[in-house]
Structure 1
């Protein structure tokens, strides 16, 4: 699968954290800018959500703190303590102290946890998307991604539910399924987590997809993704075979997905659609279950690692 981006050390968080090891060489005092875009290992990356702050524990010392959530849902915290004024050698560990801690990619949830997440968020997310079909107006900018991301953001108004994982690039929570097609009749895929079905309020990502449906001599073709396209699933779908975490499952085994999507760039206002996955001949797909960030990752995104988090040290 082409997403999330490949890693060198098993998670995006460790790929960045390794740059804070004592043996890692830094070319300059990048930390004085307090700019996350200059953090070693983060330059040029767009698959993140980030937060940072600078503290000054005494008149002579400053500490740059930062944290990053990646599209693979790993998370890293890092800090650099350095002299507040003047210049210093960024590789002199006696004057510039660096540290990084990280959480690897989270393990899949069991059925009870995933069903609970659906019951907590699913109906609100699906109803949010359907409301734009009823009004005929675009959600936010009208981009396909907005429909899912804004649905998740809408949950912030309810203080009685824990905040879900925010949409991070093309990731919208716990991965439920990933699959792809490499030509007619050639499909592969994998189920993830302990639930037994796709549920209303799940979110699907398509990448460069072509679905061809034939009915006798008649046929129709549907293309989605330039290269990416997002939709909100609005009906439960039970796979045709019993599933378990890690099990091989072709997209066709999911049957037909009912979704709501939009695309201002192609002039498509919010609409209902059905996607018959038996006809998937090209492209990739991912299905996500919005879940609590606290329940799945262990904490919210904040610049300093919270107490009690069992983060690994680099």
Structure 2
């Protein structure tokens, strides 16, 4: 018979390679998305300790220290009555719009819902696309993005400021000259479009890798963007490549077909994705071509994105007033 125990026994820790694995990006949230976290700040039961909305540069306190990747606000004036509109597009591609209305001639308590009216609407992270939509996006943006990166290869000339991120970010900006091409989503912090794959390694060998496929396409395609965080890979020459301190971004320039048949939500190891060929740069490294066999990933995280149209994927461009047609949700 086992002795009686008065102390609780902790449950075994969940493996970092469990199918419910998490990555360091996007940041953890309280309510499921970054936009919904902000929307709850505008709920009538949330206490506001200052009339922040009346400031010269009104930024909601929850995002004052770290604003969304894209943030805008605007005013409307009707005599002494004011209306503040704001919008944030977050790293997880969720949207939050908010409105605050008050009378500037009154010194009202910001928690008096009769004097200060507040509301918020949000859109969750966009749903994954099927193969037809993802292939169409590739056909619209992929070749131009890959060609843009390749135009710097071997020239000794850096793109932009020389940061690795500039190759992808400036490639998106290149589309501004083509008025017949829908505006691409662009680089939003560590996000560069529709997520195709995410994964990580906690040691050498496939048994120490985990990942997940997203969307209906069956391969990584030319013009996709790879984002690394503190990653290390063994190289064929016996050396080691380090990706990111902590971040590194590169443009994929060749298609890559996984060794397994993939589908949306499927657990796929980085090594099963295959070998990706990229053009990349760094402050001390001019743009160059490189190949990375993801079976050799032994540490760190990576994400692969498909460039997509902003309105097509998110439903709207960034505007301070929530468009009626997007079907935004309220709390």
* TM-score, length of structure 1 as denominator length: 0.95
Measured against aligned partners, the alpha-carbon deviations of 1:186-228 in whole angstroms (never above 9, x if no partner) come to: 11000000000000110000111110135xxx61211110011
When structure 1 is superposed on structure 2, of 25-34 and 243-252 the one drifting more is: 25-34
Aligned to 1:294: 311
**Number of matched residues?**
307
Task: Answer yes or no: is the 8 Å Cα contact 1:73–1:105 preserved in 2.
Answer: yes
Normalized per residue, which structure has more strand? Answer: 1
The whole-number CA distance in structure 1 between the counterparts of 2:292 and 2:121 is 42
Aligned to 1:5: 27
Aligned to 1:240: 259
Unmatched tracts of structure 2, length 5 or more:
1-22
Please list, as runs of the form range in 1=range in 2, the aligned pairs for 1:33-52 lying within 5 A after superposition. 33-36=55-58, 38-52=59-73
Aligned to 1:190: 212
Task: Answer yes or no: is the 8 Å Cα contact 2:201–2:298 preserved in 1.
Answer: yes
Please list, as runs of the form range in 1=range in 2, the aligned pairs for 1:18-29 lying within 5 A after superposition. 18-29=40-51
Aligned to 2:19: none
The whole-number CA distance in structure 1 between the counterparts of 2:303 and 2:33 is 19
* TM-score, length of structure 2 as denominator length: 0.90
Aligned-pair CA distance for 1:45: 2.0
| Alignment counterpart, residue 168 of structure 2, candidates 148, 169, 173 | 148
- RMSD between superposed Cα atoms in Å: 1.2
Aligned to 2:90: 70
The whole-number CA distance in structure 2 between the counterparts of 1:81 and 1:311 is 20
Q: Which one has a bigger Cα radius of gyration?
A: 2
The whole-number CA distance in structure 2 between the counterparts of 1:240 and 1:161 is 34
The whole-number CA distance in structure 2 between the counterparts of 1:290 and 1:75 is 18
Task: Answer yes or no: is the 8 Å Cα contact 1:34–1:53 preserved in 2.
Answer: no
Measured against aligned partners, the alpha-carbon deviations of 1:283-302 in whole angstroms (never above 9, x if no partner) come to: 00000011111111110001
The whole-number CA distance in structure 1 between the counterparts of 2:119 and 2:27 is 25
The whole-number CA distance in structure 2 between the counterparts of 1:248 and 1:34 is 48
The whole-number CA distance in structure 2 between the counterparts of 1:166 and 1:94 is 41
